[in-house]
Amino acid sequence: MNKTYLIIGGTGGIGQAMVEQIIETNKNSNHSVLIFATFHRTVPNIKADNVHWLQMDVGDEESIAQAVDTIRQHSIHLDWVINCVGLLHTDTSQPEKALRQVETEFFLQNMQINALAGLLIAKHIKPLLSKAERSDGTPAIYATISARVGSISDNELGGWYSYRMSKAALNMGMKNLSIEWGRSLKNVCIVVMQPGTVNTQLSAPFQGNVAEGHLFSPAYSAECLLDVLSGVTAAQSGSFVDWSGASIPW
Ligand X SMILES: NC(=O)c1ccc[n+]([C@@H]2O[C@H](COP(=O)([O-])OP(=O)(O)OC[C@H]3O[C@@H](n4cnc5c(N)ncnc54)[C@H](OP(=O)(O)O)[C@@H]3O)[C@@H](O)[C@H]2O)c1
Q: Which of 118, 139, 173, 195 binds ligand X (CB under 6 A)?
A: 195
φ, ψ for residue 144 (rounded to 5)?
Answer: -130, 135
Q: How far is the CB of 77 from ligand X (least distance, A)?
A: 23
Q: How far apart are CA 243 and CA 220, in angstroms?
A: 9
- Element (DSSP H or E) covering residue 80: strand 80-83
Other CB atoms within a 10 A radius of the CB of residue 175 amount to 16
Nearest C-alpha neighbor of 67 from the set 53, 85, 49: 53
Q: How far apart are CA 106 and CA 127, in angstroms?
A: 33
In three-state secondary structure terms, 13 is: helix
Of the pair 33, 149, the CB lying nearest ligand X is at 149
Q: How far is the CB of 151 from ligand X (least distance, A)?
A: 11
Interface positions, 90-149, toward ligand X (CB under 6 A) = 113, 145, 147
Of the pair 9, 238, the CB lying nearest ligand X is at 9
Per-residue mark of binding to ligand X, 144-183 (x: CB under 6 A): -x-x------------------------------------
Q: How far is the CB of 127 from ligand X (least distance, A)?
A: 21
Of the pair 18, 140, the CB lying nearest ligand X is at 18
Q: How far apart are CA 116 and CA 177, in angstroms?
A: 12
Q: Which of 42, 90, 176, 244 binds ligand X (CB under 6 A)?
A: 42
φ, ψ for residue 196 (rounded to 5)?
Answer: 90, 180
**Environment class of residue 24 by beta-carbon count within 10 Å: exposed (0-12), middle (13-18) or buried (19+)?**
exposed
Q: Which of 5, 6, 7, 11 binds ligand X (CB under 6 A)?
A: 11
- Give Dmax (Cα) for the chain: 57
Q: Which of 27, 41, 47, 100 binds ligand X (CB under 6 A)?
A: 41
Tell me the residue number closest to ligand X, measured at CB: 86
Rule CB under 6 A: say whether 57 interacts with ligand X.
yes
Residues that bind ligand X (CB under 6 A): 9, 11-15, 40-42, 56-59, 84-88, 113, 145, 147, 194-195, 197-198, 200-203
